[in-house]
């Protein structure tokens, strides 16, 4: 159980934050001396994480981190042989939630298409609604990948004519899996996720959402990222 807790507490907060806290021998900013609180805030605001988050056009680094953390937690339980039983009840719940999410998405898609205006996003740290849609759908799929039950999703995504979503999710999990298998240093993983966010940001999420299409150039970039990890 201790191992599981450690996995679930996978910390992907800014590297600069952790370095600063270690200088004072504490683990939380509330334990810092009062005269160091503002300096701590400045460190966070000037961290690579925050800078990249503001530069990305569509992808949210925060959400991508959370997606990876969720995958990593489940995948490591299998890799470390903590529990190899297929959680069929949980998969059924995920399937039900995913089916409901896809149904709601289909009903609202046309309205969203009419009302969404990219120029309305003026805050660089605001989560782009396009990426939020993709993230919300992907959220319920990671266990199907980890437990080799991906084929359960084929009929569901075909029903909503969203096969390209499924292909995109699968290659994303291929990348997450390689990162989890190859790297153990959290700070190194953070840098890789930041690099991945830049690649992910090249995707045309409007095309994915409204035309069920992943362009060939983006597909090649994702495959090249995998090849670089495996070299």
Q: Report how far residue 40's alpha carbon sits from residue 54's, in angstroms, rounded to the nearest whole number.
A: 19
Residues 50-68: tens digit of each pLDDT: 888 888 989 999 899 999 9
Average confidence (pLDDT) over 131-151: 93
Q: How confident is the model at residue 54, as a pLDDT?
A: 84
Residues 192-214: tens digit of each pLDDT: 999 999 999 999 998 998 889 99
- What is the model's pTM? 0.83
Domain boundaries defined on the chain: 57-230
């Amino acid at each position: 159980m201790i191992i599981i807790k450690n996995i679930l507490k996978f910390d992907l907060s800014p590297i600069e934050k952790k370095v600063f806290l270690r200088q004072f021998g504490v683990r939380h900013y509330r334990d810092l001396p009062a005269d160091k609180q503002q300096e701590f805030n400045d460190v966070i605001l000037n961290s690579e994480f925050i800078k990249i988050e503001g530069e990305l056009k569509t992808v949210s680094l925060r959400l991508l981190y959370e997606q990876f953390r969720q995958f990593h937690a489940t995948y490591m339980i299998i890799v470390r042989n903590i529990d190899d039983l297929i959680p069929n009840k949980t998969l059924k719940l995920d399937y039900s939630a995913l089916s409901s999410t896809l149904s709601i998405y289909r009903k609202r898609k046309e309205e969203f298409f009419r009302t969404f205006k990219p120029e309305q996003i003026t805050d660089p740290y605001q989560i782009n609604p396009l990426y939020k849609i993709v993230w919300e759908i992907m959220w319920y799929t990671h266990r199907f990948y980890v437990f080799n039950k991906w084929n359960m999703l084929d009929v569901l995504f075909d029903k909503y004519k969203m096969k390209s979503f499924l292909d995109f999710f699968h290659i994303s999990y291929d990348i997450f899996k390689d990162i989890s298998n190859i790297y153990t240093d959290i700070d190194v993983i953070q840098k890789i996720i930041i690099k991945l966010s830049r690649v992910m940001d090249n995707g045309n999420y409007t095309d994915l959402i409204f035309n069920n299409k992943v362009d060939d150039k983006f597909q090649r970039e994702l495959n090249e990222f995998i090849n670089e990890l495996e070299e």
